[in-house]
Amino acid sequence: MRKTEFDEGAEGRTGIHERNGNLVPAGQDVRLIERIGAHVAGIMQELNLDLDDPNFRHTPERVAKMYLEMFRGIFEGSEPTITTFPNEEGYHHMVIEREITFYSMCAHHFVPFYGHAHIGYIPRSRIVGLSKLPRIVEFYAKRPQLQERLTEQVAEFLWTKLKPLGVMVVIEARHLCVEMRGVKKPGALTTTSALRGCFSDRKVREEFLALVQREHPW
């Protein structure tokens, strides 16, 4: 049974307990879910929805739990916690992890946007475990977010923590605020990029983009 917990710490963070993909209220979460749920119920009433309808009976609570899950990055601190390692092999070429799936919520409309992140960096004296790159993307995605800001946050974090020769992040995403409302353009893809250090060199940047765009060999 999978169990993930973010307990209330010294700073008074709200605890989030997750079992089998479902949030389980604990401590302050119960009161927080009740407060958020009351506001959701108020919105539903303003829309003339019948809260006695069996389909809506637990909707406010479900929505409250969903927001706690989708915005859990807010409660996890100001930056992700990762472990870096000395670059004992003296590797100074490109390290790329591509097609990192993420889901986030648009800060303007609170509807999802989702897609893939591609991350590349050239180490100097420190490297990071490959499993930590998706964790960094996930940390910054789990909050009301802008794609542009998400891209910059991932790049800046790696640039600051690893102090590499260079880093580049490309994010491709679909935004439901574009597809479901407003201009209603299904399939529109938004691409953003952020770069630091040697990736400002055109040849380095082109190598990264060429490797990202390659088809899978399997």
CATH number of 7's domain:
1.10.286.10
CATH number of 193's domain:
3.30.1130.10
pLDDT-derived band at 7, boundaries 50, 70, 90: very low
> Do residues 130 and 120 make contact, with C-beta atoms less than 8 angstroms apart?
no
Which residues span the domain enclosing 65? 3-76
- Residue 181 pLDDT greater than 80, yes or no: yes
> Do residues 197 and 204 make contact, with C-beta atoms less than 8 angstroms apart?
no
Residues 110 and 33 in one domain: no
The torsion angle over the Cα atoms of residues 26, 31, 34 and 38, rounded to 10 degrees, is -160
Number of compact structural domains in the chain: 2
pLDDT in tens, 94-111: 999 999 999 999 999 999
Q: Return the pLDDT at 18.
A: 46
Across 5-16, average pLDDT:
39
Separation CA 44–CA 28 (nearest Å): 25
pTM for this model (two decimals): 0.84
Across 83-90, average pLDDT:
94
Share of the chain above pLDDT 70, in %: 86
pLDDT in tens, 146-159: 999 999 999 999 99
